Amino acid sequence: MAQSVMIAFQSPDLPNLTKVVGRIALLCDGDAPNTPAAKALNKATRGALARALASEAFAQLKAGDGIDLAYPAGLDADALHVIRLPKKAGAIESRRAGGAIGRALGAKGALVLAESHPAASEVALGIALRAYDFSAHKTSPAAQYGAVTMAVANPEMQAKLARANAALAEGVLFTRDLVNEPANILTTYDFAARLAAMQEIGLDVEILEEEQLEKLGMNALLGVGQGSDSPSKVVVMQWRGGGDEAPFALVGKGVVFDTGGISIKPAGGMEDMTMDMGGAGVVAGVMRALALRKAKANVVGLVGIVENMPDGRAQRPGDVVRSMKGDTIEVINTDAEGRLVLADVLWYAQDRFKPSALINLATLTGAIIVALGHENAGVFSNNDGLANDFLKAAAAEGEGAWRMPMGQAYDDKLKSRVADMVNSCGRDGGSITAAQFLRRFVRDDVPWCHLDIAGVASLKGDSPLAPKGATGWGVAALNRLIADKFEAK
């Protein structure tokens, strides 16, 4: 797993500020040096800090953004990073400030002068999330991050607040590592093994192999992987931190590589299909975060792990498979495979665990990217209460999500001439008809959300809290949802 940057909390050491090497970051609330650390830095730099705070450039900064004073006179530091962050700034702005620090962090590390800022622990979380580099396969890793010292007025309290955030950060980084891995490394074997290793942190992990899946009748899932040399698997992760209540369930699509099967994808961009296990990656990251922070909730995470390959044994367009539920599915397009995987795992989750609520995640459709771009995941639900609770949690964590419609007219499009339903029914409303397909495998009395994360799981460019590549979107929102709605107080 990518190594998290080391972050420690201590009281400010103002007499030795001039001797700090690396970078110094100062959180400012106002247009003049008005804290002990700011006054000390302004004196050391002979008024350069005051001039920067009074400048038009600083006045135009958004909360969480900053400007650099490079090689400031009077300091041994390489740079003084001056960040605009009001005392009343919320978690999102504070993490953005941390992201700015993490983005510029180098091998010499940084001193962050947060002093009495109430959101210092959120700044630290932003640093941890942004100071990430997936370099496992580079001979000479590009990014090296030195340690970060958070200089705060109340180090013990801020360190305590940061511990829960550290568990969240590790969950997010675990998800990013999984999604960033190439498919020749993250095979179905390797993916299952990495999840099984989380037994070391208190999760109960069970791996269902193909023979067991056949006995359970998971023919929809098995059909997707039958053209691959890597066997299909279902991994069940349980965290029992609550009482006797029914668990909250998470289900993830784990297609470690998606060629499209016989309905093969165009060559351009196919290399990105290593991220088609993004839903399963998020489920794994959430389960890791819950275990590390010892959440007082019962949560089960289930992931269907397959590889979709063209082969003499591969599933064909026109084939009919019978799902675990018993419904038959005409496979119109073998590239609409994720919903086949989820159908069986959703039914198994309900059949075995009788969950209080159920959320599935998948990089399911390109259509959701057409609809929402890369700013929001699509949220589909049969329950307004659960959908609203998730949207509220996502907004609080700064993770974009948008409720999408469902309805009978969309469901009617799933009609098949030879089976109970088709797995694909055209381009129009593609993300919605995919959700309607999944809805058929959710019992009416189970609150359910489907999150289509195709546009947010991995990005082509940097974001405030992540470098190019996997984002870990959804780990924070689901962690908050569980804390707010499913965890004993």
The strand pair at 320-322 and 328-330 is best described as: antiparallel
Which residue type sits at 203? L
Is residue 151 classed as helix, strand or coil in its secondary structure?
strand
Which two tokens mark 142?
A: 């590009």
Distance, in Å, from the CA atom of 28 to the CA atom of 6, rounded to the nearest integer, reads 23
Q: At what angle do helices 91-104 and 120-130 cross, to 10 degrees?
A: 50
Please state the φ and ψ torsions of residue 485, each to the nearest 5 degrees. Answer: -120, -20
Count of CA atoms in the C-beta half-sphere (13 A) of 385: 6
250 bridge partner residues? 301, 359
Count of CA atoms in the C-beta half-sphere (13 A) of 449: 27
The strand pair at 377-381 and 23-28 is best described as: unpaired
Catalytic one among 339, 439, 440, 480? 339
The helix (run of H) or strand (run of E) holding residue 142 is none
- The verdict on whether 265 is a catalytic residue reads yes
Residue 46 burial (CB count, 10 A): 12
| DSSP result, 52-68 | HHTSHHHHTPPTT-EEE
Q: Residue 353: which of 286, 290, 298, 287 has the closest Cα?
A: 298
- The verdict on whether 138 is a catalytic residue reads no
Nearest-5° Cα angle at 350, 345 to 351? 95
Distance, in Å, from the CA atom of 479 to the CA atom of 468, rounded to the nearest integer, reads 23
Nearest-5° Cα angle at 374, 409 to 259? 75
According to DSSP, residue 266 is labeled P
Going through 163-273 in order, the beta strands assigned E by DSSP cover 204-208, 233-240, 248-258
How far from 369 is each of 341, 351, 457, 484, CA to CA, in Å?
Answer: 21, 32, 11, 29
How far from 230 is each of 131, 183, 224, 337, 467, CA to CA, in Å?
Answer: 34, 11, 11, 16, 30
Catalytic one among 103, 194, 240, 265? 265
**Residues identified as active-site:** 265, 339
